Amino acid sequence: MTDRQAKLRFEGVHKSFHTRRGEVTALSPIDLTVYQGDFIALVGPSGCGKSTLLMIAAGLEAASGGTVLADGAPMREPGPDRCVVFQRFALFPTKTVTGNVEYGLRMTGVPKAERRERVRETLGMVGLSAFADAYPHELSGGMQQRAALARSIVMRPDVLLMDEPFGALDAQTRIIMQEEIARIARDLGLTVLLVTHSVEEAVYLCNRIIVLTARPGAIKHEFTVDDDWSHHSVDEAMAQPGFGSLQRTVWNAVREEITSVQ
């Protein structure tokens, strides 16, 4: 039991797609509660429904059944309380970094002076202050992903949904971004649901790791991460014996599912 507030709750949520080749069941009924301050990873074999669950949480995909509750109320559509960061940066190419980051605030009617202040503060947080007037094509991949992250966190979402957010980045940039999202999540007290293929990333960033079975995805096992590794740098954390042993345990659970369909 916990007295932390439930920000997002999946109750018997399942999903099938009707395709030309017949019905594809992506998700078996999922029961999962995301509490305030959780940093949860969804890991599992390719095609097990991780992104589908995230899209349902975002309101960008409809569940075939079950209920999703956002802050206790049934949720049916996208809202500024649940922002998504995708693997591909998805910035507006014709808007500057400032224009991109302030877009959601503008759409929700935040007055100009407050918008400018919040954008300034957020760009500082993600290390992009010097690039406020740059256009996406003038930025590196890592900087574009910082801008995409800024565009989400400027909204102070109840739940930040991230789908392989560092998957398109080079290995070095990825490590730096992992350390930065850990710091930002801590500073802002964010609640995060993260889809990742990297068990290492999950152990480093998360307090809960949900392993899904091969498709149709069901919850196979939930691991609790007792140590907050994200206070260390990634290389320091990985050097600790407890980190490696949890990483191996989680990976074995994922591997079991991958090999079950081979």
Ligand X SMILES: Nc1ncnc2c1ncn2[C@@H]1O[C@H](COP(=O)(O)OP(=O)(O)OP(=O)(O)O)[C@@H](O)[C@H]1O
Contacts with ligand X, residue ranges (CB under 6 A): 17, 19, 24, 26, 44, 46-52, 215
Nearer to ligand X (CB atom), residue 24 or residue 90: 24
Nearer to ligand X (CB atom), residue 12 or residue 242: 12
CA gap 36, 262 in Å, rounded: 38
Nearer to ligand X (CB atom), residue 150 or residue 203: 203
Q: How far is the CB of 44 from ligand X (least distance, A)?
A: 6
Q: How far is the CB of 197 from ligand X (least distance, A)?
A: 6
Distances (CA, A) of 52 to 19, 37, 143: 15, 22, 27
Laid out side by side, the sheet with 219-224 consists of 82-85, 159-163, 192-195, 39-43, 208-212, 219-224
Token pair of 40 as six digits = 């949860």
Q: How far is the CB of 173 from ligand X (least distance, A)?
A: 20
Nearer to ligand X (CB atom), residue 194 or residue 237: 194
| Partner residues linked to 84 by β-bridges | 161
Query: Which residue in 262, 226, 256, 243 sits closest to 44, CA to CA?
Result: 256
Token pair of 84 as six digits = 């998504």
Query: Which residue in 22, 24, 18 sits closest to 47, CA to CA?
Result: 24
Nearer to ligand X (CB atom), residue 102 or residue 257: 257
Nearer to ligand X (CB atom), residue 172 or residue 262: 262
Q: How far is the CB of 45 from ligand X (least distance, A)?
A: 7
- Angle (nearest 5°) at CA 157 between 151 and 163: 65
CA gap 194, 49 in Å, rounded: 13
Q: How far is the CB of 137 from ligand X (least distance, A)?
A: 27
